[in-house]
Chain A
């Protein structure tokens, strides 16, 4: 997957490029709107990450000019989060809008979602190592043993398993599992993960739920 990142702030650009490359993307970069537009028009990219405030040609103009011929997904980054700005960005043909400061894992998740967009069939059975999840019957087994989970614990495990190998931030988890769509300064998610671990991981030698300190959690057979 080839991504184009158009961002004028050098530090932001550096960590975005590095982080995205390490997540398996091929990344090209541009430091202003004019160069970015040229690259986007001539290159073949699967997705463009575009800062709204750019010197020369701003993000809005880049999208307008780009949309004449190109239809690849565009993800806006902006320090402004007025509702009007968001709507403007999406109206111009952006696919998503992320407000600075954002968590990198959040950006990664959004990029993956946009690239995957389209009808995705939910798997009825998920298997991670010796963990088996029956999504339809909402049953969980590990190494053949049945594990009893509360509905929320099941939602949490299901989310982690569906996004296997992806880091999920606390905010994402709170939003998906409890529909709490705002940053909360509580450690509710930590507690919930700890309780889930007590049932899913603690009785077994191989741990599946991994903490990425300061970032979030992921579920996989091996720690990254």
Chain B
């Protein structure tokens, strides 16, 4: 369907509403006036018929009536728009008053009722097509003889008045519609002018200039809300975009290290003939770098999918004590080696994806192991609350400086830049923890004080599917 402009639609609608309103009002007024005029005519016809009935009733007989014809003349004098007749019981014309020579042949000349009220008045059409209001009623002389009385009038004389009135109404309606159209056009144009302004401003916002915002000072409150919503959206997009560029930059940077190693050590080794063992050592070392690259790719893909919620959760009930002991056992050897130990105090259960849950705990534990002071004890505890379950992984070790606290969950973020090259960490472990927790509608937080670092993950009891 074709979409009309807002201005056209609103102007058209307002004009139509005006037309309809004025048309209805005009029709009502016209009908009302016409009805009143016709009622006056009807009343007059009825009253004149009653007067003639009275005249006949006052005479003894037809002869007396004819003797007193002047009474009839007196009564009809001046009523030139009317036809008034007194006829015999058989309809023969006795007295006639018809100054305008109205043709009343279509009216009956013999009546069967004496009722002369306005209900008895009928509407007739003369042979020449003229509309006539008239009535034929019975009257009685004193001697009991009957007479017929015919009273009629043309309503042609109200037609010029009515048509003049109608013309006035049509002119008024046309004018009103024109004025309404013009005014509504101006009004709508003025009202949506700020939208054009917003549109022009929005056009200035580009990838290079994401900082530009809409000016919301000179617009109406409704549009100010719109401007603010759009500004908030732009701010979110800008933040996301900046994060994404930072991420891409970090990604390129982190890829550079293994590639530099691969390239450098291969170049050096190939620069002169060497013993077979040296080539073997080179290839094995390269393989380690390749593994690291593969892991990075896998982790990056995982994060990208988690962000688009493309990962479907397979939630089952997990016994926390069992699960945590299992992961702890996996790391036992490693902990032993570094002179630390892992203790689990857990009870209760949660609904979570088992593979992803193990991955979270494993990432947290491997992170804790890297930062625990030798001889320290890593503790995993659970807290069951009414609205969910929290698992805390705490380790004694160097505190995380406050300025890094909220950044350690970002991808590739490392507190110690020098550690970025260590091949045992891709810098994505905690980012993956956060992603997995978000997939579970949970959260992760960290506290670090008094020589103790505590990572706390929270699983809400009521789980709504991600939108």
Contacts and interface: CB of A to CB of B under 8 A. Distances in A.
Interface of A: 81, 83, 101, 103, 152, 174, 178-188, 191-192, 195, 213-215
Interface in B149-187: none
A184 B287 CA distance: 16
Interface in B220-265: none
Contact of A185 (B286, B290, B327, B425): B425
B426 A185 contact: yes
Contacts of A192: 333
Contacts of A213: 280-281, 284, 287
Given A186-B369, A213-B280, 18 more contacts: A101-B290, A179-B326, A179-B358, A180-B362, A182-B358, A182-B362, A183-B294, A184-B366, A185-B292, A185-B366, A185-B426, A185-B429, A186-B366, A188-B331, A191-B333, A191-B334, A191-B337, A214-B283
Given A184-B366, A185-B424, A215 B334 contact: no
B130 interface: no
A180 B358 contact: yes
Contacts of A186: 331, 334, 362, 366, 369, 424
Contacts of B334: 186-188, 191
8 contacts: A101-B294, A101-B297, A174-B330, A180-B330, A184-B366, A191-B337, A195-B333, A214-B283
B333 A214 contact: no
A214 B288 contact: yes
Contacts of A188: 330-331, 333-334
Given A191-B337, A214-B287, A81 B301 contact: yes
Closest 5 CB pairs of A and B: A214-B287, A213-B284, A214-B284, A191-B333, A178-B330
A184 B334 CA distance: 13
Contacts of A101: 290, 293-294, 297
Nearest to A153: B333
Contacts of B369: 186
Interface in B347-369: 355, 358-359, 362, 366, 369
Nearest to B280: A213
Nearest to A186: B366
B455 to A, nearest CB: 16
Residue among A182, A184, A185, A187 with the highest chain B CB neighbour number at 10 A: A185
Nearest to B294: A101
B142 interface: no
B145 interface: no
Nearest to B336: A191
B440 to A, nearest CB: 16
A45 B290 CA distance: 32
B295 interface: yes
A185 B362 contact: no
Contacts of A174: 330
B286 to A, nearest CB: 8
B359 A215 contact: no
B69 interface: no
Contacts of A81: 301
Contacts of B295: 183, 185
Contacts of B425: 185
A214 B423 CA distance: 13
Contacts of A195: 333
A81 B290 CA distance: 19
Contacts of A178: 326, 329-330
B460 to A, nearest CB: 24
B383 interface: no
B291 interface: yes
Contacts of B284: 213-214
Given A180-B358, A185-B366, A152 B294 contact: no
Nearest to A189: B333
Contacts of A187: 334, 424
B355 A181 contact: yes
A101 B294 CA distance: 6
Nearest to B370: A186
Interface in B411-443: 424-426, 429
Nearest to B424: A185
A179 to B, nearest CB: 8
B112 to A, nearest CB: 95
Nearest to A82: B310
A101 B300 CA distance: 14
A185 B423 CA distance: 8
A180 B366 CA distance: 13
| Of listed A174, A180, A186, residue having the most chain B CB within 10 A | A186
Contacts of B281: 213
B307 interface: no
Contacts of B297: 101
A74 B239 CA distance: 47
Contacts of A183: 294-295, 298-299
Contacts of B298: 183
B285 interface: yes
A195 B337 CA distance: 10
Contacts of B287: 213-215
Nearest to A184: B362
B438 to A, nearest CB: 18
A182 B424 contact: no
A187 B287 CA distance: 15
Contacts of B330: 174, 178, 180, 188
A101 B295 CA distance: 10
A187 B290 CA distance: 16
Contacts of B336: 191
A187 to B, nearest CB: 7
Contacts of B327: 180
A183 B362 CA distance: 11
Contacts of B283: 214
Contacts of B429: 185
A185 B425 CA distance: 6
A209 to B, nearest CB: 15
A186 to B, nearest CB: 5
B323 to A, nearest CB: 11
A174 B295 CA distance: 15
Contacts of B326: 178-179
